[in-house]
């Protein structure tokens, strides 16, 4: 897969993804961090499996390398954890000539990127995404942040990395649930981009090998090309980039209502995407004929999401704190048909409730044990 450039007004950075790409890490660091120390933060689970591989690829002398592991899971993405990292880095007398590298999934990238954005008013950083969700979405675009008890990602900053380097080999050791989590963002992109990617996703699901690098490479490339285009046009999420929130107003509320960590972000996105599709159809009934294929794909993916007890009232209440709200406005990204997103402000709550009921009914009827 060729590198994908995220081109901004005054700078650009590459997103490099493929098999064995970790070998390029040393050369990238020589280019972007020629002096100073490199502070590497690993997701602890990833470090146990691949930490030695990354360490060897860094090719840095010990006096320039500082490595630290972070607890896995959504609870790590907090101000409490950020405070601990600030204390460590300030204790090490970090300067702006140093460099930060995040190796992990979306939680690691969001948290470490937030630290890079806010410490000393900005430390250069880069990302080695190690999960499918991070490779396909979270690592690209410069959104960093932590959660608040009121909602997900409510505290954060835009801080673009110097590069993103994803190695498909790392995906082979992911638990299946983490693959499904990444597919949540992929099914979102399939809806946003339209029929070509829907066909790619349909063939991937039909193949049945969820770790197949060839299929995953095509899906990742299609997703990243779409996202890179929107980030280039709208770095700070003020216009077209908002389309990337398709399904996420529902998903963040579902995560919050379930209790952070009980459903992974991508699992909630699968449910949120289903609810967004149903909302669009309820608002534009004439569009239903365009969603036959997409609905089948989403419903197949809902069956992969572990069962959790979800309270409709809690989900509706959680939407009050979604970060996409503006001046009291609830904003939803919907589809007229696959490939044609549009934004609706303050849709009728009865429509939102009906879409959620329809989605939760499909989810609850999918079999499996509740926990």
CATH number of domain containing 31: 3.40.50.1970
β partners of residue 126: 101
In this prediction, residue 131 carries a pLDDT of: 97
CB 54 within 8 Å of CB 20: no
Give yes or no: residues 196 and 345 share one domain: yes
> What is the distance between the terminal CA atoms of the chain, rounded to a whole angstrom?
40
Distances in Å between the Cα of 28 and the Cα atoms of 16, 73, 125, 225 are 11, 28, 12, 21
| Same domain for 185 and 131 | no
pLDDT at residue 314 in the model: 95
Same domain, 194 and 333: yes
Q: Per the domain annotation, does 369 fall within a domain? A: no
255 and 324 share a domain?
Answer: yes
pLDDT value, residue 152? 77
pLDDT tens readout for residues 10-32: 899 999 999 999 999 999 999 99
User: Within this chain, do residues 28 and 117 fall inside the same structural domain, yes or no?
Assistant: yes
> What is the helix (H) or strand (E) element at residue 49, kind and residue range?
helix 44-58
Query: pLDDT at position 369, please?
Result: 54
Give the end of a domain, one of 126, 158, 173. 173
> Is residue 196 situated within a structural domain?
yes
Contact present, 324 and 245 (Cβ < 8 Å):
yes
**Number of other residues whose CB lies within 10 A of the CB of residue 160:** 21
Helix (H, G, I), strand (E, B) or coil at 59: coil
- Would you state the pLDDT for residue 150? 80
Give CA–CA dist 357/299, Å, rounded: 14
- C-alpha 77/C-alpha 61 separation (Å) is 30
17 and 155 fall within a common domain: yes
Q: Are residues 9 and 157 in the same domain?
A: yes
Q: What are 319's strand-pairing partners?
A: none
Specify whether 219 is located in the same domain as 335. yes
Give Cα separations from 38 to 34, 101, 331 (angstroms): 10, 7, 40
**Location of structure tokens 């809806």:** 191
Q: Which of 65, 110, 69 is nearest to 92 (CA)?
A: 65
Is 126 in the same domain as 232?
A: no
Task: Map residue 53 onto helix, strand or coil.
Answer: helix
Domain assignment present for 371? no
For residue 255, give the CATH number of its domain: 1.20.1090.10
User: What's the burial of 35, exposed, middle or buried (CB within 10 Å: 0-12/13-18/19+)?
Assistant: exposed
CA torsion, ordered 293, 298, 300, 305, to nearest 10 deg: 180
Predicted local confidence at residue 256, as pLDDT: 86
> Is residue 347 domain-shared with residue 256, that is, in the same domain?
yes
Query: Exposure of 325 by Cβ count < 10 A (0-12 exposed, 13-18 middle, 19+ buried)?
Result: middle
3-state secondary structure of 131: coil
Q: What is the tally of structural domains in the chain?
A: 2
Q: Look at residue 316 in the predicted model and tell me its pLDDT.
A: 94
Q: Which residues of the chain have a pLDDT value below 50?
A: none
Question: What span, in angstroms and rounded, lies between the C-alpha atoms of 183 and 297?
Answer: 11
Phi, psi (deg, nearest 5) at residue 151: 170, 175
What angle is formed at CA 43 by the lines to CA 305 and CA 144, rounded to 5 degrees? 80
Select from 173, 196, 218 the last residue of a domain. Answer: 173
Residues in CB range of 1: below 8 A, 6 or more apart: 17, 18, 217, 220, 221
Which of 145, 173, 201 marks a domain boundary?
173
Q: Note whether 217 and 306 are same-domain residues.
A: yes
Q: 320 near 150, Cβ under 8 Å?
A: no
Q: By C-alpha distance, which of 326, 322, 349 is closest to 251?
A: 322
Instruction: Report yes or no on 354 lying in a domain.
Output: yes
What's residue 328's pLDDT? Answer: 62
- Domain, as residue range, for 223: 178-364
**DSSP code per residue over 6-17:** EE-SS-EEEEEE
Are 43 and 169 found together in one domain?
A: yes
pLDDT one-digit tens code per residue, 94-129: 999 999 999 999 999 999 999 999 999 999 999 999
281 with 335: CB under 8 angstroms? Answer: no
């Amino acid at each position: 897969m060729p590198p994908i450039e995220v081109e901004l007004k005054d700078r650009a950075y590459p997103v490099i993804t493929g098999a064995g790409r970790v070998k390029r890490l040393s050369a990238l660091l020589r280019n972007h961090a020629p002096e100073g120390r490199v502070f590497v933060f690993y997701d602890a689970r990833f470090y146990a499996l691949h930490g030695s591989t990354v360490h060897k690829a860094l090719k840095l002398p010990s006096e320039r390398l500082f490595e630290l592991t972070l607890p896995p899971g959504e609870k790590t993405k907090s101000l409490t954890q950020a405070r601990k990292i600030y204390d460590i880095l300030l204790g090490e007398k970090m300067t702006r000539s140093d460099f930060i590298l995040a190796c992990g999934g979306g939680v690691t990238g969001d948290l470490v990127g937030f630290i890079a954005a806010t410490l000393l008013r900005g430390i250069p950083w880069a990302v080695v995404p190690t999960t499918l969700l991070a490779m396909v979405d979270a690592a690209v675009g410069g959104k960093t942040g932590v959660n608040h008890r009121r909602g997900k990602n409510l505290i954060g900053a835009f801080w673009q990395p110097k590069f993103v380097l994803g190695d498909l080999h790392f995906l082979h050791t992911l638990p299946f649930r983490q693959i499904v989590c990444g597919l949540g963002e992929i099914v979102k992109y399939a809806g946003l981009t339209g029929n070509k990617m829907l066909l790619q996703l349909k063939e991937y699901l039909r193949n049945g090998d969820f770790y197949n690098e060839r299929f995953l490479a095509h899906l990742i490339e299609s997703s990243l090309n779409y996202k890179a285009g929107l980030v280039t046009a709208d770095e700070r999420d003020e216009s077209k980039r908002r389309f990337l929130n398709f399904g996420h107003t529902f998903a963040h509320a579902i995560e919050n209502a379930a209790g952070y960590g009980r459903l992974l972000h991508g699992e909630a996105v699968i449910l949120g995407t289903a609810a967004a599709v149903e909302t669009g159809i309820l608002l534009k009934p004439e569009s239903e004929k365009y969603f036959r294929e997409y609905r089948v794909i989403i419903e197949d993916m809902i069956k992969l999401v572990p069962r959790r007890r979800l309270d409709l009232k809690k989900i509706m209440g959680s939407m009050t704190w979604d970060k996409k709200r503006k001046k009291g406005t609830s904003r939803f990204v919907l589809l007229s048909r696959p490939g044609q997103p549009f934004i609706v402000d303050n849709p009728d709550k009865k429509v939102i409730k009906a879409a959620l009921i329809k989605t939760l009914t499909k989810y609850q009827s999918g079999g499996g044990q509740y926990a």
